[in-house]
A and B are shown apart, each in its own frame.
Chain A
Amino acid sequence: MTKYDELTEFLLRLGDSALIQAQRLCELTGRAPALEEEMGMMNVGLDLVGQARNWYEYAAERINDGTDADTLAFRRDERAFRNLLLVEQPNGDFAVTMTKQFFYDAWQFHLLTMLKGANDERIAAIAAKSLKEVTYHLRRSSQWVERLGDGTEESHQRMEKAVDVVWRFTFELVEKNGAELALSESGNIPALTELPEKWLATVNEVFAKATLTVPDAPSTFYLSARTGMHTEHLGMLLAEMQFLQRAYPDASW
């Protein structure tokens, strides 16, 4: 398996998470509970595809072997993907869908806010642009978490259950890791030391309004997006997402 330099790996991590989250949202085309929500989810998905493309284009330039954004999205296998385990989880019911979206939005919001100040100008530019869109995403998902958590008895229970289902995958959002530390030491990106606290503060704030309980911090387990060790769901997702490119290589519209 090709191992890229730390900066390229970091770009792939951002791009892959955005793309996989977008793909999950697009699975809901024609299946959302309300037309307005379907449009909302498709629009969020579209923003994320665009963001993924921006990260991929930068990564592809660094890899510099003829790889382009499409190759990175459609020609890599499961083990090469670096997306968060959280975003590859199935959509479940609307409570699960929105809980995942909220955890991811809050993480993106704080991460991009920090990356906006990166010395690497390309990262800073993509982060600043993406952050404007993500601000809307976070606003929407926070409002849904509040509305469902502090809603009816059933919606509250289903939100508690949804948190229970996806919470264990949030360890990746709050883990401290060497690669990002190395990147901040080399001056490419700012130190991300406060990211876990900021993410948790947003979760606490929104959950308080939503009358939901924040569980204890989840612990790391043997799977890790950083090493390409995914849950069984990613393979199925990729099979669908990459089918066309693999069946008809170089197909274009």
Chain B
Amino acid sequence: MSKLLQLHDFGAPGATSFDELRKSAASSGCSSKGGAGKTGCGSAAGPSDLPPEIWEKVKNHPCYSEQAHHHFARMHVAVAPACNIQCNYCNRKYDCANESRPGVVSEKLTPEQAARKVVAVASTIPQMTVLGIAGPGDALANPAKTFKTFELVTETAPDIKLCLSTNGLMLPDYVEQIAAMKVDHVTITINMIDPEVGAKIYPWIFYNHRRYTGVEASKILSERQLLGLEMLVARGILVKVNSVMIPGINDQHLIEVNKAVKSRGAFLHNIMPLISEAEHGTAFGLAGQRGPTAQELKTLQDACEGEMNMMRHCRQCRADAVGLLGEDRSAEFTTEKVMAMDVEYDLAARQAYQAKVEAERDAIAVAKQRELEKLEGETATIKIQVAIATKGGGVINEHFGHAHEFQIYEVSTAGAKFVGHRRVDLYCEGGYASETGIDPILQALNDCTAVLVAKIGMCPKDSLAGAGIEAVETYAFEYIEQSVIAYFKDYLERVGKSEIRHVARGDATIRQGAFTEA
């Protein structure tokens, strides 16, 4: 229930500006609501770099569209824990470190239980639009369970989009079935195209009834992954590629991977930082292999960006995550609770709700465009990063002390761009500042010039100021991108008047371990 209240919360402060914006948008001849797939003011609402038919497919998918992840929710069900390869960043004694949070054993479900859970969640959370099967393990190592789940869900909840994640080893054998099930997105984890690099990531694979090791194993894996990718693209199925960035092993090589997957038609590339804390017990963790820093990750993502769309909002959610990205409501939907729930699938109500959300998104895009116009004529070459405290809805609506994560935007005269998120441990728990204090947050935001929040106390504000980060409450409950641009304009003015001096910021740390709710 809390989610519904939250959505109304963000609707309320935005309501006036939202209506005004709709009006002004209409009066200037820029419709904020086009036909299917068309968004107001062209590129402002839809990513200009995606063809319309692809945008139509991904716009409500929280994992694929940065904007959608503010408004739509997804869920994963863990039905198929088996896997047929071994990755050095994964310890299946606990869970798959790639697609889900290590150290937490996900609840394994039968296809029937999983289907019931999907309907229960979709009835409770109308913005739930996507069901994914993403491990732990490989969705195609136990294909019967994966496809059975999809089949059952399609029967009761036909509006839910299906997606699956795979390591790609068995993919070519199941492309026909994936197409027949109307799965519209597939994620393949591709960490290399050079078997020599692969040998450092994959100790073995199980294929054709035997275990292959070393370069031979990676050669087979890579060939199968790329073949599977080509076959899916040929059938019009969207393919996202996930890569785990492992400094010193595949970091430079991922630029080659990016070219290879782009040329074969993948539409999105998601480069994720390696999670490798020793306590997760993965081979990399035990060997002391480090993960990338925030700026290393961003530099690599930027280097690949010219080649294709980069996804930067992945939270490496656990395999049974439920809810909006960055928010996990899986505890509300344990098998026990789901089995006891009275569920009724109300398709019309879901659609009405989603239409409302869509209208709000259009308004956000229009607001951003208007703010951007105010920057016209600015020639400053300054580029800064700004952190945002939000609980979703595209609005700055989170108290600094309650933030589990901050969203990072890079802003220049060219506009505001989402570049990532930083998870943090709660600074203030139940009104008291946490024991670890503010230092980890300062480290996580060290590359930012400012943090925009709904509210912040004096103490953390001073600490931030001491670290050269400005805490700003001025834009509380305003739309994020519009505010980031407005802040930047103000910043430029103050630099111009020599009220402040622009200084380049340093690097930041990515918090290890996956997202945990409190």
Q: Is the A/B pair a real complex? A: no
Query: Which residues on B are within 8 Å of A, measured CB to CB?
Result: none
Query: Which residues on A are within 8 Å of B, measured CB to CB?
Result: none
